[in-house]
Amino acid sequence: MSGLTVMAKEYEPPDLSEIESKPEALDFWARTLETDPEKIRRAVKKVGPMVDKVKQELGIGGAG
């Protein structure tokens, strides 16, 4: 073995109030909101990228 280790940097959203459209952002928010990335993508397309609006669209309770 060569001893090389590839460390993948965990995605961190630059703004916690907005969902970026890139795949790693959709995966992050899908894990965070415990839902499917495709549902996140569809909700963003319908209501825009603001997390509170996406949560409301998905029926996920509570702000923040």
Q: Determine the 3-state secondary structure of 49 from DSSP.
A: coil
Q: Confirm if 29 and 40 have CB atoms less than 8 A apart.
A: yes
Q: What is the mean pLDDT of residues 52-58?
A: 96
- Model confidence pLDDT, tens digit, residues 6-45: 555 789 999 999 999 999 999 999 999 999 999 999 999 9
d(C-alpha 27, C-alpha 31), whole Å = 6
Q: Give the number of other Cβ atoms within 10 Å of residue 61's Cβ.
A: 7
User: Which range has the worst mean pLDDT, 2-6, 15-19, 54-58?
Assistant: 2-6
pTM for the predicted model, two decimal places: 0.78
Give me the long-range contacts of 29-33 (CB less than 8 A, separation at least 24).
Answer: 29/54, 33/58, 33/60
Q: In the chain, where are the structural domains located?
A: 23-58
